[in-house]
Amino acid sequence: MANTKLLYFMLVAILLASVLEAKNQNETHIHFYMHDIPGGPNPSAVRVAGQTINATGPNMGAMFGFGSIYVMDNALTATPDINSTLIGRAQGLYAMSSKEDELSLLMTLTYNFVSGVYNGSSISVVGRNPVMDEVREMPVVGGTGVFRLARGFALAKTYSMNQLTAIVGYNVTIIPYY
């Protein structure tokens, strides 16, 4: 009887390990660059709400003041060069969500893929983005197409930033729904 129970538990453990291994083999890893342009003659992110504050104040001026909300439609490219292959669009919004010295955003966006094997599919990301941290992690909370009901995480790292443009590299791990 004891040997039967031991054999049963060993079979369950082996089955569970093989299922976990199969899931790990099906992870998708995508790398791309997002071009956020909140200023200049052709912005890809537009401020739609927020208070106007003194540009020399502690909240970094009216453009980045606490409570400012932006709607975006940013290009996703294969390399940091804006003229490289367009792989998709980041569409959604972000809000300046920190009152202190830290610059932190609440991001709610969808990465819509428009070329390659993921054309027509998307992933959605919702989370806090402390912009000045070297690497930020945000959760993938769902998707469409080949990424339907996906989960995972996005690691963001600023490639370059000035007053008019931020280029952010993303390494995204997507775990499919089974």
Task: Render pLDDT for 39-53 as a digit per residue (tens, 0 to 9).
Answer: 889 999 999 988 765
Domain assignment of residue 164, given as a range: 28-175
23 lies in a domain? no
The values of phi and psi at residue 7, to 5°, are: -65, -45
Local structure of 118: helix, strand or coil: helix
Q: What is the pLDDT of residue 101?
A: 74
7 lies in a domain? no
**Percent of the chain with pLDDT strictly greater than 70:** 78
**DSSP 8-state symbol, 132:** T
What is the per-residue pLDDT across 104-157, written as a single tens digit (0 to 9) for each? 899 999 999 999 999 999 999 999 999 889 999 999 999 999 999 999 999 999
Nearest to 110 by CA among 134, 66, 145, 162: 145
Nearest to 39 by CA among 163, 160, 167, 161: 163
137 lies in a domain? yes
Domain CATH for 33? 2.40.480.10
- Only one residue has tokens 């940013």, namely 74
Interval 85-113 mean pLDDT: 91
Contact present, 155 and 140 (Cβ < 8 Å): no
Q: Considering the entire predicted model, what is its pTM? A: 0.79
Per the structure, how many domains does the chain have?
Answer: 1
The total of other beta-carbon atoms located within 10 Å of residue 94's CB is 21
124 lies in a domain? yes
